[in-house]
Structure 1
Amino acid sequence: MAPTDPKQVSNGGFFASIASSISNFGSAMHKSVNGMIGYEGLEVINPEGGTDDAAEEAQKGRWKQEERDGYWKMMQQYIGSDVTSMVTLPVVIFEPMTMLQKMAELMEYSHLLDEADKCEDPYLRLVYASSFFISVYFAYQRTWKPFNPILGETYEMVNHRGIRFLAEQVSHHPPMSAAHAENDHFTYDITSKLKTKFLGNSVDVYPVGRTRVTLKSDGHELELVPPPTKVNNLIFGRTWVDSPGEMVLTNLTTGDKVVLYFQPCGWFGAGRYEVDGYVYNAADEPKVLMTGKWNQSMSYQLCDLEGEPLPGTQMKEVWRVANTPENDKYQYTHFAHKINSFDTAPKKLLASDSRLRPDRYALEKGDMSKSGSEKSSLEERQRAEKRIREAKGQHFTPRWFDFTGEVTTTPWGDLEVYNYNGKYAEYAESVKNDDSINTVDVLSIEFDPWQYGNVAQQ
């Protein structure tokens, strides 16, 4: 019988060493240094390797000592809770980008989906498609937190490989976002509802969501189930991100699938970034092995039914991370800077667009004090709008996405599914020939995601 995951591959040959390391997946542990820093339940690890002493490592981070101590005392009451939207966080830990913009970062390597659509081999197309989903983890390793979107907030992106991308915040409690992207080769649709568990100095993030890609050449539909993510050393130590677990990408049309294992990070970075797995046919027989690092590159090689490389074949690279700016304050890629700029914005930008948020813009300009006050103001206006809406006995209705009525089950909870309703394409067409938009200063547009008018005045 053919192996159903890399742990069952035979002991000999190239891929056996990968299999043996995966077999230790469940036993990876981080050494506790509670006694060194005086707080119970905290772990410190140097994920990049090196010889830093653990106690010294524990004192590193973006917080001043008094800030860490005060914030730790405040956050203790939330241990074990979902803190996705119940806690007001200081801007010192934020990056000048929203979660909607972060969703758009996946489009940086969208050419991989173009190649998947053009590929006639059913297994290699899954190699391209899964590498596309692996590529975003390079951006996800940034330890700065994006701003939570305001209800009704949007983000639009054009001028990138013929793609039009649109995201909208469709729910505040629980926080949910929906996005749609499309070009000549594919459509991409996602409903995202993050679920978190705060553990003191770390937080587990569970991707309760549904991601589907439709390839236009033959209509094949792909569905993704990503692994959870853990953010370590939130308050004490050097913050770092890991995503140990299993990623599964299934061709819903044929039953073929990719199963990739994200290795957990061990002491001094052992195993960090490593991804290994197989492309399987509908009969669960391995056809292609894949290996690489999610912060660097992915490669593939044809294999036999035992999961071993076929004689006469070679490992071929399918994706490699692009060059990045040196010493960037927020560890942004060149594409992340494009996402934050108005270069990727349509001429007629929606007033609800993330780029126009005054707190985000102030942080981008380095004014942390103004960013904090603007963030508090937006959050209070959001609460005010909710009171007005409830007083009128009405419900918030997203503008560009519709609730389908479907509630689907994910490994981490149920999800209410939203679909793109097509109205944005109609809107974009209607303003395409509006010459007056060429005279508008984008920065003069006031951020306005509000469904019930100017709540500040009301």
Structure 2
Amino acid sequence: MQDEKRVVLTKPLLLDGESSVDYRPANLLKRILSLFINLPAMFNFPKSQLQCYGESVYCTGNDLVSNLNKSESSLERFTSVVAWSISTTRPLMFGLAPYNPILGETHHVSNANLNVLLEQVSHHPPVSALHATDENENVEILWCQHPVPKFHGAWVETEVHGKRQLKLHNHRETYEMNSPKLLIKFLPVPGVDWVGNVRIKCEETGLEAEICYRTNSFLGSWKNYRAIQGKIYHSSSSNTLYEINGHWDRTVTLKDINNGKSRVIYDAKEVISGLKTPIVKDLQEVWKSESAAVWSEVSQGILNQNWEKATEAKKAIEKKQRESVEETWVPKHFTVTCSMETGWDCLPIHKKVPPAPIVIPR
């Protein structure tokens, strides 16, 4: 039987990109000195990147997934998918980073009828796969995440390669979309934000959306901070049906080009505020590969601000990872392919994700 202390779960990040718990060392000097005494755990917050990906899908203040099927209009369903896509954009914490998932690491959580499973299918390069299903709504989500950072001196821009799909099986519709880029700035004003263009399309209906994620300028202007702007149109005519405007951390409105009327399609406070920490419902069913178990000692050390213990535990995990032979490892939950033309593709082995032993309390 697994010891309960080995499963450590922490609260999702708040809307402003911070946490209700301060994971940082007591002062900045200690953080700087840690660079010279090799204490990298000081620069982590107690969560794996795999958990961060999962939280953007299963941690919501209201049930956006169940709303996807409600409308009989394909255009209204498309706007609901646009709102859902925006909801997966989550605030980040500057100066601290999640753990890099180890090969074969998993994260399995249920929120009501939505069951979400992630697996780290490659370590070099890092590739994460996500599969989520809601049997009641007959909705399926498939992601393949392959971050590729590019260094530009004063900033780092990370492109998140890989296909994202959302399938509404009741309507036989598949929506494909990409992820915005992650921008980390060091000068003149340090910060982290999402930027770039996101395209959402549905082949079955011919509807498409283009959304541009903006941020404040390098000179410090905050006019475009977390702003998004875009449009929804039909691919056959390219005529704009709706204009999209707002801020992904506040509200996003949709303006009907025909009549000029606007309405709110996304409110971040409703979706990202009041998020609950997952709990362990069935300890014996938690896999050894579960993120909250793999990194439990490191997370506990960070929560207790025991940096020596956290660093020792992290080194042990990383050493074990280096000793593993990636070429002989086969993912347990996904079939993975990679080509020069299409990049990485991760297909789930099973059609449905089973209920998880870790759940979001209701």
Within the candidate set 175, 178, 192, 1:222 is matched to 175
1:93 is aligned to 2:52: no
Tell me, yes or no, if the aligned pair for 1:141 and 1:242 is still in contact at 8 Å.
Answer: no
C-alpha deviation, 1:230, in angstroms: 0.7
The one-letter code of the counterpart of 2:318 is: E
The one-letter code of the counterpart of 1:362 is: G
Which residue of 2 is the match for residue 295 of structure 1?
A: 249
Secondary structure of 2:287's match? Answer: coil
Tell me, yes or no, if the aligned pair for 2:56 and 2:90 is still in contact at 8 Å.
Answer: no
1:317 is aligned to 2:264: yes
Secondary structure of 1:247's match? Answer: strand
Tell me, yes or no, if the aligned pair for 1:212 and 1:222 is still in contact at 8 Å.
Answer: yes
Question: Superposition pairs for residues 205-354 of structure 1, below 5 Å?
Answer: 205-233=158-186, 239-266=190-217, 267-283=220-236, 284-304=238-258, 310-311=259-260, 314-322=261-269, 334-335=274-275, 338-339=277-278, 341-342=279-280, 348-354=285-291
Taking the aligned partners of 1:255 and 1:406, their CA distance within structure 2 comes to 28
In structure 2, the CA distance between the partners of 1:323 and 1:189, relative to structure 1 (3 Å rule), is closer
Larger Rg computed on CA atoms: 1
Tell me, yes or no, if the aligned pair for 1:123 and 1:287 is still in contact at 8 Å.
Answer: no
Within the candidate set 59, 77, 85, 1:133 is matched to 85
Secondary structure of 2:277's match? Answer: helix
Taking the aligned partners of 2:206 and 2:200, their CA distance within structure 1 comes to 10
C-alpha deviation, 1:364, in angstroms: 3.2
Aligned length: 326
Taking the aligned partners of 1:193 and 1:383, their CA distance within structure 2 comes to 20
The one-letter code of the counterpart of 1:93 is: F
Which residue of 1 is the match for residue 10 of structure 2?
A: none
Taking the aligned partners of 2:48 and 2:273, their CA distance within structure 1 comes to 15
C-alpha deviation, 1:90, in angstroms: 1.5
Tell me, yes or no, if the aligned pair for 1:196 and 1:204 is still in contact at 8 Å.
Answer: yes
Within the candidate set 315, 333, 344, 1:376 is matched to 315
C-alpha deviation, 1:237, in angstroms: 7.3
C-alpha deviation, 1:371, in angstroms: 1.3
Question: Superposition pairs for residues 182-193 of structure 1, below 5 Å?
Answer: 182-183=133-134, 184-185=136-137, 186-193=139-146
Unpaired runs of at least 5, structure 1:
1-47, 49-60, 75-87, 305-309, 325-331, 443-458
Higher strand share: 2
C-alpha deviation, 1:134, in angstroms: 1.2
C-alpha deviation, 1:166, in angstroms: 0.4
Which residue of 1 is the match for residue 292 of structure 2?
A: 355
Taking the aligned partners of 2:273 and 2:299, their CA distance within structure 1 comes to 18
Tell me, yes or no, if the aligned pair for 2:91 and 2:193 is still in contact at 8 Å.
Answer: no
1:164 is aligned to 2:126: no
C-alpha deviation, 1:121, in angstroms: 2.0
Which residue of 1 is the match for residue 3 of structure 2?
A: none
In structure 2, the CA distance between the partners of 1:279 and 1:141, relative to structure 1 (3 Å rule), is farther
Work out the percentage of aligned pairs sharing the same amino acid: 18
Taking the aligned partners of 1:142 and 1:215, their CA distance within structure 2 comes to 36
Tell me, yes or no, if the aligned pair for 2:299 and 2:310 is still in contact at 8 Å.
Answer: yes
Which residue of 2 is the match for residue 399 of structure 1?
A: 332
Q: Which has the higher contact order (CA 8 A, sep 6+)?
A: 2
Tell me, yes or no, if the aligned pair for 1:100 and 1:168 is still in contact at 8 Å.
Answer: yes
Deviates more, 1:135-144 or 1:255-264: 135-144
Tell me, yes or no, if the aligned pair for 1:157 and 1:346 is still in contact at 8 Å.
Answer: no
Which residue of 2 is the match for residue 422 of structure 1?
A: 350
1:117 is aligned to 2:50: no
In structure 2, the CA distance between the partners of 1:149 and 1:295, relative to structure 1 (3 Å rule), is same
Tell me, yes or no, if the aligned pair for 1:156 and 1:346 is still in contact at 8 Å.
Answer: no
Question: Superposition pairs for residues 69-108 of structure 1, below 5 Å?
Answer: 90-107=40-57, 108=59
In structure 2, the CA distance between the partners of 1:208 and 1:241, relative to structure 1 (3 Å rule), is same
C-alpha deviation, 1:128, in angstroms: 1.3
Taking the aligned partners of 1:242 and 1:402, their CA distance within structure 2 comes to 32
Task: Describe the superposition over 1:347-379 as per-residue Cα deviations: whole angstroms up to 9, x where unpaired.
Answer: 611111011122133223432221111111100
Task: Describe the superposition over 1:233-290 as per-residue Cα deviations: whole angstroms up to 9, x where unpaired.
Answer: 2xx7764212222111111222211111112312231211111111111221111222
C-alpha deviation, 1:177, in angstroms: 0.7
Secondary structure of 1:244's match? Answer: strand
The one-letter code of the counterpart of 1:295 is: D
The one-letter code of the counterpart of 1:398 is: P
TM-score normalised by structure 2 residue count: 0.79
Taking the aligned partners of 1:362 and 1:244, their CA distance within structure 2 comes to 33
Secondary structure of 2:104's match? Answer: coil
Taking the aligned partners of 2:99 and 2:46, their CA distance within structure 1 comes to 7
Tell me, yes or no, if the aligned pair for 1:149 and 1:169 is still in contact at 8 Å.
Answer: yes
Tell me, yes or no, if the aligned pair for 1:150 and 1:169 is still in contact at 8 Å.
Answer: yes
Task: Describe the superposition over 1:177-212 as per-residue Cα deviations: whole angstroms up to 9, x where unpaired.
Answer: 101011032100011111012334432111111110
In structure 2, the CA distance between the partners of 1:231 and 1:333, relative to structure 1 (3 Å rule), is farther
Taking the aligned partners of 2:334 and 2:39, their CA distance within structure 1 comes to 28
TM-score normalised by structure 1 residue count: 0.64
Unpaired runs of at least 5, structure 2:
1-15, 17-24
Which residue of 2 is the match for residue 28 of structure 1?
A: none
Tell me, yes or no, if the aligned pair for 1:193 and 1:207 is still in contact at 8 Å.
Answer: yes
CA RMSD of aligned residues (A): 3.2
Higher helix share: 1
